[in-house]
Amino acid sequence: MNHRKLLLPLIAMGMNLALQAQDIPEPVKTVTYYPSVRFIVNAPTLLPKLYKEGDFKGIKNFVDNWTLSPAPSYEFIFVLNSLYSIENNTFSVHELPANFLNLLDNYAKETEKATNGHSDFKYYVYLPDGRYNYDATNSAKKLLQFTQTWAKHLAATRKLNSTASLVCHSIAGDIPKPGSYYRENRTNYADIRQFVDTIDTFREHCFAARRDKRAMVANFLTGIWIPNRHLAVLDAHPSIGMQLGWRNAKNEVDLNWSFRFNQPVHNAYNVLRDTTLYSSTYYDGGYIGLDYTHYVVHHPHFDMGYTLAMAYDYFDAFDGISDYQDLSGLQPINIGCLDVNGGVQCKYFIGRGPCIGIQVKYHLLNYCNHGGTDLTGHAFTIDLFIGSR
């Protein structure tokens, strides 16, 4: 028996298992995935041929089919469609994609890399199954050279309006940063300004409609609790908390829970239990309540409103875990009261859902510490929060 013939398949199988164990993706099987990559593979050869023959309709058909392929390259499709429209005198700003300035910025940047031999230029086509990508760097370089040549010819031989000129010269590589160039010279591009303003207005309307829908609310809060009058003996304390609730455009209802910590207090206070007066410097506390907010200022990215709330506010005068073995004579260890409060809340939305904000409230408290230190007084709270709706 030829042991070598038997050994080679075993070695190949072992290497394959080792690669799988290291979770290294298999190479793309070009034949298997050819339907997905055939446009980027054939474009650098076929499109210059069609261009040389003057078959611009053939170029358009190729690009349209590329759009419908399993793995379209949208940046190339945008550029080729733009050049075709300029070539056929049908170019219109209204046919451009909403993000065309970003596409031009990226395209100009990659064209400069590809045509000047930058080693970090790479172009991958991500395949539909999500497991593989195809390295189309060489094809992309050739295609970029073709589109640049076509754009240079159009810029030199056609009388272009301002928008077509911006697009064409950007593709040709004459404008390295099209977005910045447009913003610096936007007075010369009335049609682009109108187009961009229309898109921005539409986006704001969509954003506002999304914001005004009924939705659940969740916020994480961190802040400070500041007592006044006799209650100031308990000192100011930092707090953390959560809000869970529901809102529509201008109204919000939240279940609010927060916890205060950072004991001990600087000055001891007295608490009477049974017939004994105890001195304590211990403190931890909290707030559990229902908050209602009505927003009187309501913009797509900013809300400001008034908050009214009712809650139970409490603090522990004794450590029920470590300091006291027998708490039978110290019950109850906490002191609580009704908390009626109100204030102002401001929110700024940094996306369709995420927001940051501040909430300032004044709390009417009435701790009853019979026989002990006078704890009459109220409190301010200032909370910063981050959340989502």
51-60, 87-96, 123-132: which range is least confident on average? Answer: 123-132
H/E run at residue 289: strand 284-298
Q: The domain containing residue 302 runs over which residues? A: 214-388
259 with 242, same domain: the answer is yes
| Helix 56-67, helix 74-87: angle, nearest 10 | 150
Q: What digits encode the pLDDT tens for the residues 257-302? A: 999 988 789 989 999 988 888 888 999 999 999 999 999 999 888 9
188 with 304, same domain: the answer is no
Of 205, 230, 253, the residue at which a domain comes to its end is 205
182 with 224, same domain: the answer is no
Q: Does residue 112 belong to any structural domain of this protein?
A: yes
Helix locations, the chain, DSSP H:
3-21, 30-53, 56-67, 74-87, 100-115, 137-157, 162-172, 178-184, 190-212
Q: What digits encode the pLDDT tens for the residues 336-377? A: 999 999 999 999 988 777 999 999 999 999 999 988 999 999
39 with 123, same domain: the answer is yes
168 with 259, same domain: the answer is no
Q: Does residue 52 belong to any structural domain of this protein?
A: yes
What was the pLDDT predicted at 56? Answer: 94
Are 343 and 294 within 8 A, CB to CB?
no
Cis peptide before 264 (omega within 30 of 0): yes
Are 33 and 139 within 8 A, CB to CB?
no
What confidence tier does 25 reach under pLDDT thresholds 50, 70, 90? very low
DSSP 389: -
Of 143, 172, 205, the residue at which a domain comes to its end is 205
Q: What digits encode the pLDDT tens for the residues 151-166? A: 999 999 998 999 999 9
Are 210 and 352 within 8 A, CB to CB?
yes
Q: Does residue 250 belong to any structural domain of this protein?
A: yes
Q: Does residue 157 belong to any structural domain of this protein?
A: yes
92 with 165, same domain: the answer is yes
What was the pLDDT predicted at 374? Answer: 93
CATH number of 312's domain: 2.40.160.20
* 257: phi then psi, degrees, rounded to nearest 5: -130, 130
Q: Does residue 147 belong to any structural domain of this protein?
A: yes
Of 205, 227, 259, the residue at which a domain comes to its end is 205
Average pLDDT, the chain: 85
271 with 194, same domain: the answer is no
200 with 251, same domain: the answer is no
DSSP 232: G
Q: What percent of the chain has pLDDT over 90?
A: 54
85 with 199, same domain: the answer is yes
Positive or negative torsion for Cα 368, 373, 376, 378: negative
124 with 150, same domain: the answer is yes
Q: Does residue 1 belong to any structural domain of this protein?
A: no
Q: Does residue 46 belong to any structural domain of this protein?
A: yes
> What is the CA 279 to chain-centroid distance, rounded?
51
State the Cα angle at 155 between 92 and 77, rounded to 5°: 50
Are 344 and 366 within 8 A, CB to CB?
no
125 with 198, same domain: the answer is yes
133 with 241, same domain: the answer is no
Strand partners, 219: 243, 387
Work out how many domains the chain is built from and give that number: 2
What confidence tier does 114 reach under pLDDT thresholds 50, 70, 90? confident
pTM reported for the whole predicted model = 0.58
Residue 227, amino acid: P
Q: Does residue 74 belong to any structural domain of this protein?
A: yes
